[in-house]
């Protein structure tokens, strides 16, 4: 249980928080017992689903859950928002770690893709092989190539793709025309050049315009390292290696842009939303984020275009988002019901609806090639860009140790863009800290 105990400190070091979450877990355990009893009395099986979708995305999820419940009278899914799912210190992951430690778990959960190996390695997640083998449309061969990245650990599938995305680059074509730039950037050097032109030509007294803003520090960094030919871990996945000259290339460019006054970086907990707000308000002409940002961008009313992520020497994107997983400790009836829901959610009709209303990727080949999606992509060409990026998608190291790495990747970006440390110093210090943590 080494990996669980290492990451359990987010909660287990705090007695108050652990007691609070364990209290929720006790209530959950009672619900599970009641659910199993209800199932035997021909009452709906109650499935508790811990999820981390808020705002507009959460509304779409709740709509689909309500539709499932209305069409499956023998099952009732309770989708409970437990806070953000997106990093090891997030509310959802903290609660899940505490629930696993206490033995009082939900039936299914939304698991951030980089976190999945940590839970799988500790036996917390249900092996989905048999479910998928017997599925009418969720066999491994049914999924869009690249979409199953980060659903496996040790060659075994533990998660179904749910809200899956890749990094995507956005720009404002009106601001580009005003700055006299005819084509969007393809490389990070071109991003730097365009940002300088935009900032100089469009900034006015009282209104500073930044050429570029990056959202999601560690995720963008991860993509840049791989695009430059660097590595994040060694081949045995036992040591961090993101302090190479290749790893430093784009971070050096970003540091130069920050010094030039053409890049703004939001390091706060709400930094991602703040970046999108700046883009919508015309405070920046370019930003890189997630494929799932499109719905939020549309709400700002800004004119935008999506393009593949810029590269250094080769195009690369890595998976983002989360999978749906069943907890190994859930009762048998709840596991079966949870799989029924998961299989329904990934069916063509639902994955098409989910993709069109959120910006997340459709996960099945059948959905991707359907007339519904083809018409949608024709009318919304921005939405097809992330799909096209799957052709050069790679997965981050599928190891339980990766969460250690992710934490120090983010620290390195913050050290450079917030604390203004030198790039190589920040990378070397954080690789050293990451390897010390990994070795413990």
pLDDT in tens, 130-159: 999 999 999 999 999 888 888 999 999 999
User: What value does the mean pLDDT take over residues 263-285?
Assistant: 93
Residue 220 tokens, joined: 């963008």
Give the list of residues 6+ apart from residue 260 with CB closer than 8 angstroms, or none: 195, 196, 199
Confidence of residue 2 (pLDDT cuts 50, 70, 90): very low
Q: What is the dihedral of CA 137, 143, 144, 147, to 10 degrees?
A: 140
Contact in structure between 101 and 71 (CB atoms under 8 Å):
no
CA distance 305 to 313: 23
**pLDDT for residue 63 is more than 90:** yes
DSSP state letter for 392 = G
pLDDT attached to residue 200: 97
pLDDT attached to residue 38: 53
pLDDT attached to residue 404: 78
| Domain extent listing, the chain | 2-164+322-387, 173-303+401-439
Contact in structure between 309 and 389 (CB atoms under 8 Å):
yes
pLDDT attached to residue 89: 61
Residue 333 tokens, joined: 């009836």
pLDDT attached to residue 149: 85
pLDDT attached to residue 23: 31
User: Which option is the CATH number for 173-303+401-439: 3.30.465.10, 3.40.50.720, 3.40.190.10, 3.30.70.3270?
Assistant: 3.40.190.10
**pLDDT for residue 424 is more than 90:** yes
pLDDT attached to residue 78: 98
User: What value does the mean pLDDT take over residues 116-133?
Assistant: 94
Topology alike, domains 2-164+322-387 and 173-303+401-439: yes
Q: Burial of 265 by CB count in 10 Å (0-12 exposed, 13-18 middle, 19+ buried)? A: buried
Report the CATH superfamily, name and number, of domain 2-164+322-387: Periplasmic binding protein-like II (3.40.190.10)
pLDDT attached to residue 91: 83
pTM assigned to the model: 0.86
Residue 266 tokens, joined: 């939001």
User: What value does the mean pLDDT take over residues 413-421?
Assistant: 96
Task: Tell me the three state secondary structure of residue 142.
Answer: helix
Phi/psi of residue 301, nearest 5 degrees: 85, 0
Q: Round the average pLDDT of the chain to a whole number and report it.
A: 89
Residue 411 tokens, joined: 């620290």
pLDDT attached to residue 62: 97
User: Residue 415: CA atoms inside 13 Å, Cβ hemisphere, count?
Assistant: 18
* Lowest-pLDDT range of 50-54, 173-177, 315-319, 399-403: 399-403
How many residues are given for the chain? 440
pLDDT attached to residue 7: 43
């Amino acid at each position: 249980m080494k990996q669980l105990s290492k990451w359990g400190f987010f909660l287990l070091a705090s007695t108050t928080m652990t007691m609070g979450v364990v209290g929720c877990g006790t209530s959950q355990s009672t619900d599970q017992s009641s659910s199993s009893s209800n199932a035997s009395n021909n009452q709906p099986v109650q499935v508790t689903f811990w999820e981390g979708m808020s705002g507009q995305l959460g509304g779409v999820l709740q709509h689909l859950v309500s539709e499932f419940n209305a069409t499956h009278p023998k099952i009732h899914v309770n989708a409970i928002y437990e806070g953000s799912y997106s990093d090891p210190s997030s509310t959802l992951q903290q609660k899940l770690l505490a629930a696993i430690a206490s033995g009082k778990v939900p039936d299914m959960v939304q698991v951030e893709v980089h976190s999945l190996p940590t839970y799988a390695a500790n036996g917390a997640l249900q092996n989905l092989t048999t479910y998928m083998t017997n599925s009418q449309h969720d066999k491994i061969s049914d999924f869009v190539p690249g979409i199953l990245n980060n659903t496996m650990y040790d060659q075994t599938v533990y998660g179904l793709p749910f809200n899956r995305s890749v990094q995507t680059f956005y720009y404002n074509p009106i601001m580009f025309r005003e700055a006299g730039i005819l084509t969007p950037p393809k490389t990070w050097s071109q991003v730097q050049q365009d940002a300088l032109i935009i900032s100089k030509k469009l900034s006015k007294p009282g209104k500073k315009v930044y050429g570029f803003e990056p959202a999601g520090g560690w995720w963008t960094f991860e993509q840049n390292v791989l695009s430059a030919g660097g590595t994040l871990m060694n081949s045995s996945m036992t040591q961090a290696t993101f302090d190479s000259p290749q790893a430093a290339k784009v971070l050096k460019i970003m540091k130069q842009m920050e010094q030039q006054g053409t890049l703004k970086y939001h390091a706060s907990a709400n930094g991602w939303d703040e970046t999108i707000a700046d883009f919508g308000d015309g405070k920046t002409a370019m930003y890189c984020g997630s494929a799932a940002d499109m719905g939020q961008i549309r709400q700002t009313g800004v004119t935008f275009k999506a393009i593949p992520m810029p590269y250094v020497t080769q195009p690369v994107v890595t998976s983002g988002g989360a999978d749906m997983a069943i907890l190994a400790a859930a009762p048998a009836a709840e596991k079966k019901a949870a799989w029924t829901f998961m299989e329904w959610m990934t069916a063509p009709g639902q994955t098409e609806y989910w993709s069109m209303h959120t910006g997340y990727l459709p996960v099945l080949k059948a959905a991707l090639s359907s007339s519904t999606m083809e018409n949608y992509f024709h009318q919304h060409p921005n939405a097809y860009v992330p799909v096209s990026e799957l052709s050069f998608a790679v997965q981050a190291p599928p190891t339980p140790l990766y969460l250690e790495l992710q934490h120090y990747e983010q620290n390195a970006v913050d050290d450079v863009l917030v604390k203004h440390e030198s790039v190589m110093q920040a990378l070397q210090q954080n690789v050293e800290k990451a390897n010390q943590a990994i070795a413990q």
